[in-house]
Amino acid sequence: MDRRAILVDVTKCTGCGTCASACQEVNEQEWHEAKGFNAETFTFLVDRGDSGTVRRLCMHCEDPTCASVCPVGALRKTVDGPVTYDADRCMGCRYCIAACPFGVPTYEWSSSAPRVRKCQMCAGRPEGPACAQECPKGATIAGARDALIAEAKRRLAENPGRYYQHIYGLEEVGGTDVLYIGARSPAELGLPTNLDNRPLPELTRRALHVIPDVVTFGGATLAGLLWFTRRKERVAEAKQKSIRPSVETEDDHGQR
């Protein structure tokens, strides 16, 4: 199955906010001006001046860090692309919030039954992502990831003066299912750029891989130090006993 993905073309965005409104409607949220990720905002627009208006949303990583750190499987990467969330599984540890390199997941702090909140790319919605369906300028389109990559490459090749020659999300953190192209560099678009091209869970797994050896070596070292310390104590105690003088007190003499 071709994975579902989203392509955001910043050069086409007029900043109308239809994507944010459509997202709020399909997620049954009250309309509000979206300015940043929170429990009621899964996507929002950022005015980057001459660089354009840049839409932000969950990147739906190919190998998502949020899912890798979730101890109960509340977040998972589906076979068709979206990274989904199951509130019934969630234990509220919020590791996903700390782990996401894009700062996406948020938490319902004011709720008596709080959930982690983020875009799920309208998983299960037959029409696909509402944001792409409602965008009047085609700044956001949805489809199979390979087809969207081919479309992005075509636009960059046919209009080199219009586009900065980079598809953001093609390689970042091992690849994402939300892709960006625009007239300026990712840094100028305000997208995170201090990212490795390897999936972050891969780096975590490599670190965890050496932990058993570290623990074994550390345990052996500590055991050795403990044995050495106790041996020194025993030697000192034995030495003290061997040189301790046999002194009789006056009371001892008087009793004899």
Question: CATH number, domain at 190?
Answer: 3.30.70.20
**Are residues 189 and 228 both part of a single domain?**
no
| pLDDT value at 232 more than 60 | no
| pLDDT value at 239 more than 80 | no
Q: Is residue 141 part of a domain?
A: yes
Q: Is residue 53 part of a domain?
A: yes
Q: Is residue 200 part of a domain?
A: no
Cα–Cα dist 20/33, whole Å: 8
**Are residues 103 and 226 both part of a single domain?**
no
Query: Using DSSP, how many helices (H) and how many strands (E) does the chain show?
Result: 8, 9
| pLDDT value at 7 more than 60 | yes
Cα–Cα dist 163/234, whole Å: 77
Q: Is residue 224 part of a domain?
A: yes
The pLDDT, as a whole number, for residue 55 is 98
Burial (Cβ within 10 Å: 0-12, 13-18, ≥19) of residue 140: buried
**Are residues 170 and 229 both part of a single domain?**
no
**Are residues 91 and 120 both part of a single domain?**
yes
Q: Is residue 230 part of a domain?
A: yes
**Are residues 107 and 158 both part of a single domain?**
yes
**Are residues 214 and 181 both part of a single domain?**
no
**Digit-coded pLDDT (tens) for 66-91:** 999 999 999 999 999 999 999 999 99
**Are residues 177 and 237 both part of a single domain?**
no
Residue 143 phi, psi (nearest 5): 170, -165
| pLDDT value at 228 more than 70 | no
**Digit-coded pLDDT (tens) for 213-224:** 444 445 545 545
**Digit-coded pLDDT (tens) for 110-124:** 999 999 999 999 999
- Mean pLDDT across 200-228: 53
| pLDDT value at 171 more than 60 | yes
Averaged pLDDT of the chain: 87
DSSP 180: E
Cα–Cα dist 152/181, whole Å: 7
Q: What is the total count of domains within the chain? A: 2
**Residues sharing a CB contact under 8 Å with residue 162, sequence separation 6 or more, in sequence order:** 11, 155, 183
Q: Is residue 164 part of a domain?
A: yes
The pLDDT, as a whole number, for residue 202 is 76
Smallest Cα–Cα separation from 100: which of 15, 19, 200?
A: 200
Q: Is residue 25 part of a domain?
A: yes
The pLDDT, as a whole number, for residue 249 is 46
Residues 66, 71, 73, 74: is their CA dihedral positive or negative?
A: negative
**Are residues 119 and 226 both part of a single domain?**
no
Q: Is residue 253 part of a domain?
A: no
- Mean pLDDT across 162-187: 98
**Are residues 235 and 188 both part of a single domain?**
no
**Residues sharing a CB contact under 8 Å with residue 68, sequence separation 6 or more, in sequence order:** 99, 200, 201, 204
pTM score over 0.85: no
211-243 and 200-209 helices, crossing angle to 10°: 30
**Are residues 185 and 224 both part of a single domain?**
no
CB 179 within 8 A of CB 6: yes
Q: Residues in the chain, how many?
A: 256
**Are residues 162 and 105 both part of a single domain?**
yes
User: Domain range spanning residue 183?
Assistant: 4-195
The pLDDT, as a whole number, for residue 211 is 46
**What DSSP line would sit under 133-175, residue for residue?**
HH-TTSSEEEEEHHHHHHHHHHHHHH-TTTS-S--BTSSGGG-
**Are residues 105 and 184 both part of a single domain?**
yes
